[in-house]
Amino acid sequence: MAIVDDIRTKITTDLASYTAFKVSSELPFDSNGIPLYAKNMKTVYVDDAEESKVQLYRTLDQGEVYQTETTVNAFLCVDAKNQPSDIDTVIANILGARDAITGTQSNESSVTSEIEDDVITYTFEYNITKIS
């Protein structure tokens, strides 16, 4: 959970000056699987992390080196017709939250967008790779 908390904290800090946007501490879906980010526009929701751990290689002394890949998704919805004027900066700040995670092999982030019923849903994906 530390990765999710670090990403959420970094997004909260980076968006503090953008008063139209909020960051929720809740998960992005309610108990019925309904996306909360679609109901609460201009609110960033960060999902739980999905983690996979694979053996990268075995050392000569029979030790093992593992690669842990963690994926975290975040969501944001805005009105497609009346997008905030600073949406590009907000998206850049959310993508930059990957830098909050240190001691890793690689930190990557990407964003995709989908328009449905005059609502743009931005889905952010953070891929964090750590060698241990």
Q: Residue 1's pLDDT is what?
A: 61
pLDDT tens, residue by residue, 63-102: 888 899 999 999 999 999 999 999 999 999 999 999 999 9
pTM of the model: 0.91
Q: Which of 124, 131, 132, 122 is nearest to 7 (CA)?
A: 124
Structure tokens given for 89: 């900066």
**Residue 50, number of CB atoms within 10 A of its CB:** 10
Tally of structural domains, the chain: 1
Among 124, 48, 116, 49, CA closest to 90: 124
Q: What's the rounded Cα separation, in Å, for the pair 80 and 96? A: 23
Query: Domain containing 68: what range?
Result: 2-131
Distance CA 48, CA 26 (A): 10
pLDDT mean over 35-54: 94
Q: What pLDDT is attached to residue 58?
A: 81
Q: 44 near 76, Cβ under 8 Å?
A: yes
CATH number at residue 76: 3.30.2000.10
